[in-house]
Amino acid sequence: MARDHERHADDPAAYLLGALSELERQAFERHLMGCSTCGEELDHLRPATEALPRSVSPLRPSEALKSSVMEVVEREAAEREQPSRPRAAATGIRTRLRALVPSLTGRGPVVAWVSASFLLAIGLALGAVGTSLLSDDGARTLAARVDPVRVPEATGSLSVSNDQGRGAILRVNGMPSLPSREVYQVWVRRSGETVSQSIFSVGETGAGAAAVTDDLEGADSVLVTREPAGGARAPSGKPVVSVGL
Amino acid sequence: MTLAQEGDPRAFEILYDRHSGAAFSLAYRMVGNRVAAEDISQEAFLSIWRSRLRYRADRGSVRTWVLGIVHHRAIDALRRNLVHERRRTSAEGLEERQEAPELTDVEVVRRDEARQVRSAIGTLPPEQSRVVELAYFGGFTHSQIAEMLKTPIGTVKGRMRLGLEKLRRELVEQVA
């Protein structure tokens, strides 16, 4: 039995019902990793919570809902199949980002607040969206690692320009939306030091994108943490997303 | 599910057709209006599409996984106060059902199953069913429920546990 079991002994039912706050849920899930007693309690009570949605009388969603879901699904499936698009000019991501977003100065904590839709628009302006950005010049797309407890549905990738290792774009999906007092902040870690890059929010579908404007040569990783609105001077906790370089 | 996990849109469409009714019904029950319920359902299914590789059959059925995601999204929406309209009462929900009098065979089975589960919930002492409903369908935290009911947090958590235990026993007896 985990040492802090007494503190969490009454949590399993509340957890299954979704009645823990976000912080309490995270704390309980950390506790769960080492407590078989709570795990067994969860397994015992889970059939009851799984029955609750079955108590709801069946309703039909509109056909428009299906259309809008399938439109996105089919588009994303097709984008995966598309070959790489040629680039118009061999300029680095950083230069083009600065041309389009003058406020991205690279000085940290970066205050450029960019929405997912805005950065996707940048991607379109640069001539490619999705996995094929700058791919024909040897640019790398690196898969991100996510915290399976805090962001279980998230995926992410970092598209790194091959232009002398400068600049990259981080894209995420499935990230939980944050309360208005919090933001996601992107950092570059190098030799134990972290330098802020940008802050971003995610849309309703959990999709977001952020610029990494620093030179990534010699960097160890790119990280995403949850921080207070406006950003922080240093990461306040463990990253929810990380990309090893 | 395997084909959907491989990124086949047609397979995902089948998954959507099988589970969208249950997903939307749960979302509607929680947020009380069609527009918000469809927004939540759309978010949930796109999340399912993008995280499809995370589904593990040994952790439960596809439906359980889908409804878990819907439930989580609906709670998020409720707690972020994104659902501004007043939730519908059960009477208005009845109107919704009457809009579609011709039920499919699957819907008839689901309706009967809903009655059975509601009957099992009805056997719970009122103080237990109340906290279970407020938590699961209302999206309230145990602290909020304790404040609403002017009851200690420990008592609220205890009622949740006792309520789920009794519900589990009732459902097992129904099957027997």
pTM, full prediction = 0.59
β-strand partners of B14? none
Cβ of A19 under 8 Å from any chain B Cβ?
yes
DSSP-assigned states of every residue in A38-87 = HHHHHHHHHHHHHHGGGGSPP----HHHHHHHHHHHHHHHHHHHSPPPPP
- B9/A70 Cβ within 8 A: yes
What local confidence, expressed as pLDDT, does residue B99 receive?
A: 44
CA angle B62, B68, B71 (to 5 degrees): 140
Q: Which residues of B touch A57 (CB under 8 A)?
A: 25, 93, 97, 111, 114
Banded pLDDT at A58 (limits 50, 70, 90)? confident
Mean pLDDT of chain B: 83
Q: What is the pLDDT of residues B121-171, one digit of tens each?
A: 999 999 999 999 999 999 999 999 999 999 999 999 999 999 999 999 999
Residue B120 or A115, more confident: B120
Q: Which residues of A touch B71 (CB under 8 A)?
A: 18, 53
- A154/B51 Cβ within 8 A: yes
Phi-psi region of A169 (alpha: psi -120 to 50; beta: other; left: phi over 0): beta
Residue B156 or A119, more confident: B156
What local confidence, expressed as pLDDT, does residue A81 receive?
A: 72
- Strand order through the sheet with A145-146: A113-114, A193-200, A182-190, A221-228, A241-244, A145-146
Q: Which residues of A touch B34 (CB under 8 A)?
A: 62
For the cut 70, the answer to whether the pLDDT of residue A51 exceeds it is yes
The answer for residues whose C-beta is within 8 angstroms of residue A119's C-beta and 6 or more apart is A169, A200, A209, A210, A211
Banded pLDDT at A160 (limits 50, 70, 90)? confident
- B121/A59 Cβ within 8 A: no
Nearest CA in chain A to B81: A179
Cβ of A12 under 8 Å from any chain B Cβ?
yes
> Cα-atom radius of gyration of chain B, to the nearest Å?
17
- A21/B143 Cβ within 8 A: yes
CA angle A43, A48, A52 (to 5 degrees): 135
Count helices and strands in chain B by DSSP H and E runs? 9, 0
ipTM of the modeled complex: 0.86
Interface probe, candidates A43, A44, A52, A201, chain B, greatest B C-beta count within 10 A: A52
What local confidence, expressed as pLDDT, does residue A159 receive?
A: 77
DSSP A108: S
What local confidence, expressed as pLDDT, does residue B105 receive?
A: 80
Q: How far is B27 from chain A (nearest CA, A)?
A: 9
Contact of A224 with A211, CB cutoff 8 Å = no
Pairing of strands A208-215, A182-190: unpaired
CA torsion A71→A73→A74→A79, rounded to 10°? 120
- Return the half-sphere exposure (C-beta side, CA atoms, 13 A cut-off) of residue A130: 11
- Measured from the Cβ of residue A213, the count of other Cβ atoms closer than 10 Å reads 26
Rounded Cα distance between A98 and A100, Å, is 5
For the cut 70, the answer to whether the pLDDT of residue B88 exceeds it is no
Amino acid at A222: V
For the cut 90, the answer to whether the pLDDT of residue B93 exceeds it is no
What local confidence, expressed as pLDDT, does residue A210 receive?
A: 84
